Structures are given as C-alpha cells and as structure tokens.
Amino acid sequence: MLSILLVDDDPHIRDMVRFALERENFAVIEAENGVRGLELARREQPALILLDIMMPEMDGTDMCRILRQTSRVPIIFLSSRDEEIDRILGLELGGDDYVGKPFSPRELVARVKAVLRRQAPAEPDGAEADLVHGHLRLDVHLYRAFWRDAEVVLTATEFNLLRTLAQNKRRVLDRNALVDGAYGLNHFVSDRTIDSHIRRLRAKFDAVGGAPIETAHGLGYRLAACE
C-alpha cells in the first residue's frame, strides 16, 4: 500500500482528502504545518506529498525548497491562491502538479494517480536502460539523470520532459509535444508551465556544468548538439 503525506493546516480538508485517498487504498499520513510535514517526509518516505502553500510555522514553498535539496519525492501543491504566478512558483520550486482549492476529491485522486504513474520506473523489456547523448545519460528504468559522472536529481515530471527530448534528439518539439511526453495525453497545462520546467532543468544542469537543452525560437525546444 502506497503512503501519501498530506500537509495542510485545515482539518476539514485533511478529513475530506484522507477519506478519498483511503477509498483508493492509499495510506495517509497527516501533518498540520510544514515543520511537522518535513519531519514526517524524512522519516516516513512517502510515495507522494500533497502540500498546502499557506500554513503557519513553515509554509509549503519553504518545505518544498528544503525537501528538493535531497529528495525527488513527487509533490502536488494545494492552494486557494490559484493565480498563474502561484502555480508557476510552485512548479519552479520543484512541484510536479498544482491543484487549486476548492477541488473535487475525485479530481485530486486522479492527479495523484497520474503523478505516481509518471514516477514509476519503466518495466525492463530487454532494451537498453540508458539514453545517452553526449555527456547526458538517462537511466529510464531507475529515473536517474547524469551529466558526465555527476547525478542531477530530477522530479518525475522533469525527467519525463528530458526523456521526451532525448527520445527525439534530432527534432524540435513544441510545447504540446512536451506536455504529452511529460504529463501524458489529455492533460492541459499552460505554455508557461513547460517553460518553468525547462528553466528549472537548465538551472540544475548548469550547476554541474551542463547545458543539454536548446531553444528553437518560436518553435519549441530540442536537445543540444553533442559536445
């Protein structure tokens, strides 16, 4: 049974979400603020975190920022602040998805399942486990990315986006194609969401001296030429 860490200061939200998740056979761990949530995230190692943004003691953005220093656990932000700038901020901090309050419990469960599917390692089928392009190497079975010998810790969404580019290394992919690769079909996100993920990917690789993604202005993105 997969465990979900739910971090929200509203007990009514926690009750509603816990009921919906337990009906789908998830185990739910609860925290009322970011301090407690960070403690439970490190101790319990949940499969996914549902994280409110506005909370006392430590808000969700600070908790996410600290977690992302060492963890790639999938994070879905929950917030009543549904402006686009807040969604982009959550994604640039390393969130995998964003659900605005009020939300349907059924929609939230569907989002949880979708993110967990993206996180799940591919089943070995006899094919090579690695995608290699110059100094970039992606282990598609273990969801690990490397530049030269340095590992670059990516979220599931970031990994799937980069894998989509690596599987189409000679093509420019527009944002719609990248959405399909990173999120799956029939999932709507804005162009700015993809641009946010690209910025975060570039920052992570820049930290280890890498630059694997090029912009094709007016068209989309492609994998950079091999060095």
For the chain of 227 residues, list the mean pLDDT of each consecutive stretch of 10.
93 94 94 94 94 88 88 86 61 80 89 81 56 90 87 86 88 86 64 82 92 89 81
What residue has token string 């000679």? Answer: 170
Label residue 97 left, alpha or beta by phi (over 0 means left) and psi (-120 to 50 means alpha).
beta
Looking at residue 83, its pLDDT comes to 59
DSSP β-bridge partners for residue 223: 213
Which domain-ending residue is among 93, 119, 145? 119
Looking at residue 141, its pLDDT comes to 80
Looking at residue 117, its pLDDT comes to 81
**CA–centroid distance for 27 within its chain:** 21
Tell me, yes or no, if the pTM score tops 0.95. Answer: no
Looking at residue 87, its pLDDT comes to 64
The parent domain of residue 207 ranges over 130-223
Looking at residue 129, its pLDDT comes to 67
Starting at the edge strand that comes first in sequence, how are the strands of the sheet with 3-7 ordered? 27-31, 3-7, 48-52, 75-79, 97-100
CB 29 within 8 A of CB 42: no
Which domain-ending residue is among 80, 98, 119? 119
* Residues 92 and 53 occupy one common structural domain: yes
